[in-house]
Chain A
Amino acid sequence: MIKIDNLSFKYGKKEVLNDISMKLEAGKIYGLLGENGVGKTTLLKIISGLQKPWKGSCSVFGEDPFKRTPSFLSRIFYLPEELEFIQNDCSIRYFAKINAPFYPKFNKEKFETILKEFEVEGDKKLNKLSYGQVKKAALSFAIATNAELLLLDEPSNGLDIPSKTLFRRIIVQYVSDSTCTLISTHQVRDLENLIDPIIILDNKAVLMNASLEEISEKLYFGLYSSVPSNALYWEPAPGGYICVMENDDLGESKVNIEALFNTTMHHKSRIKELLA
């Protein structure tokens, strides 16, 4: 569905992405992780056609996204982190009424159901709602478009704890099985039990693009009372230390995304060798 080959991108002279390659498939919820400023948003903008690569190529549904053809735009939905584009003097229901005709697969019933589950006041003006409410309203519309590619930039920002739980459930329940969802975040805990595969981005490379199964084959996550000598990364936790080690016949373990991210940041080249 998405094919990125040797893609580089610059803002002026500042290189943001350098020689990035990856493939993304339909029917998966990808987590795009990375520190602030590594180019997660830029990558989403390139995929959605808002930016053009400096070098290399990005192809979505076999098309160049930057051409922004109607058929391409009707198959994707990009929800940016900042929602100024939607904060108008109208309600989310009115917004949906005037914009839905452009999305052939828009499902009004689904939209109303998600709005209800998120407890969003559908008739209240968007510029009168709190940031979290606007985010939930925008998410409801985005999911209801039934787009084949859903690009969500920091979707859990501004959501309270119950809403974050609800957000994960709604994504799992209402996003179509054939949709490719790409969620960018630096708040990795918010997406625990939701994202699979995981992409970890660094300024200069894709450090990881692997499924949870592949990660647990290569890395072992365990709670130890003392830090083993072969641990790549450890951090104190109630009851001992969460340790991450290369998986040399240690068996399967549940991937701790935060520990995985920190391990990757500390051992970039080794993790890249194992999982890129």
Chain B
Amino acid sequence: MNNNIFQFNRVGKLFRRTFQQNSKTFLNNTLVLAGLPILFLLIARLTSNEVPSLLFRSNFLAFTVGVIFIFSPFFYYFYNHPKKGLSEVMLPASVLEKFVVMQMVCMISAPLMVLVFLGGSDALITALFPKYQDGYAIAHFFNNRLTTDGVLLAFLSLQAVFFANLFFVRRKILKSIASFLVINFLISIIILVIIKVMESRGYFDAVSCNMSVQLNDRGPFEFYAGDNALTMFVMTLRIFMGIVLPILFMIGSYRLMKTNRY
């Protein structure tokens, strides 16, 4: 591959630089994450003589993984800052390499950090003090919380935040939230209009309208010949929202990185 487009050597250097540059932040975060299960146990023991339930711990783990995963692009808050961003944009590596490293940090490193340190600390407490705490939150999380739709929604949210972080220059968080609310509202209106149009044209007969649409056990591309119109519509929407839209956001983010002016 062309030396100026992608080189694993430079990707490795970028990764190393990211962790060296932010070693204190990572260390602080890991300590906080690892300390939270101990804190929960202590609070529970001191206040109510009860132990934190597996459901609570699993939910908390899922919530933290989700929040860190979705908002991790703000880790690169200053990437497009006209002054502070120069250290990144002028660094001798290609945009593709920088983009790949940023995506990997957000998609892999950030949630992995939570799973390893929060989930790991929880598992360690369970293993060491089984009489105080029952079950492994991380196992419960993987078995019960990690659904296809959940992953697709998180992926869409991450890519939307990633794009917004590069699109807005100042007051990013506020502008991102405001624009997501507006876009969500618009998408809801569009979906409603489409459903109404389909309904008026007789796509949903009385039977299909009374059917519930269960998709959680389906893969994103699992269409069946007997699917009713509503199921087909929801499946198509799911592909658009979970796959097409995030890919469009990724392409947009890459374009912004490539063409941003400082």
Do A and B actually bind?
yes
Chain A interface residues toward B at CB < 8 A: 45, 48, 50-52, 68-71, 73-74, 77-78, 80, 82, 84-86, 88-90, 94, 97-99, 101-103
Tell me if A102 and B83 are in contact (CB < 8 A).
Answer: no
Q: A73-B92, A85-B86 are in contact. Are A51 and B262 (CB under 8 A)?
A: yes
Contact status of A51 and B4, CB under 8 A, knowing A73-B90, A85-B87, A98-B20: no
B86 touches A78 (CB 8 A): yes
Contact of A85 with B92 in the complex, beta carbons under 8 Å: no
Known A84-B84, A103-B92; 4 more pairs at CB < 8 Å = A52-B259, A68-B94, A70-B3, A70-B92
Nearest residue, chain A, Cβ from B260: A50
Report whether B83 and A80 are in contact in the complex, using a CB–CB cutoff of 8 Å.
yes
Inter-chain CA distance A73–B21, complex, in Å, is 20
Q: Could you tell me the distance in whole angstroms from the C-beta of B237 to the nearest C-beta in chain A?
A: 38
**B17 and A98 within 8 A (CB):** yes
B97 — which chain A residues lie within 8 A by C-beta?
A: 70
- B86–A102 CB distance below 8 A: no
Contact A97 B20 (CB under 8 A): yes
Once bound together, how far apart are the Cα atoms of A162 and B13, in whole Å? 38
What are 28 A-B contacts defined by CB distance under 8 Å?
A50-B261, A50-B262, A51-B262, A52-B259, A52-B261, A68-B89, A68-B90, A69-B4, A70-B4, A70-B10, A70-B92, A71-B3, A73-B92, A74-B92, A77-B90, A80-B83, A80-B86, A84-B81, A84-B84, A85-B85, A85-B86, A86-B87, A97-B20, A99-B87, A102-B13, A102-B17, A102-B93, A103-B92
Task: Name B261's contact: one of A51, A94, A102 (CB within 8 Å).
Answer: A51
A-B pairs with beta carbons under 8 A, tally: 70
Residues of A within 8 A of B87 (CB): 85-86, 99
**Which residues of chain B are near A77, meaning CB under 8 Å?**
90
Q: How far is the CA of A73 from the CA of B86 in the complex (A)?
A: 12
Are B92 and A82 in contact, CB atoms less than 8 angstroms apart? no
Q: How far is the CB of A275 from chain B (nearest CB, A)?
A: 32
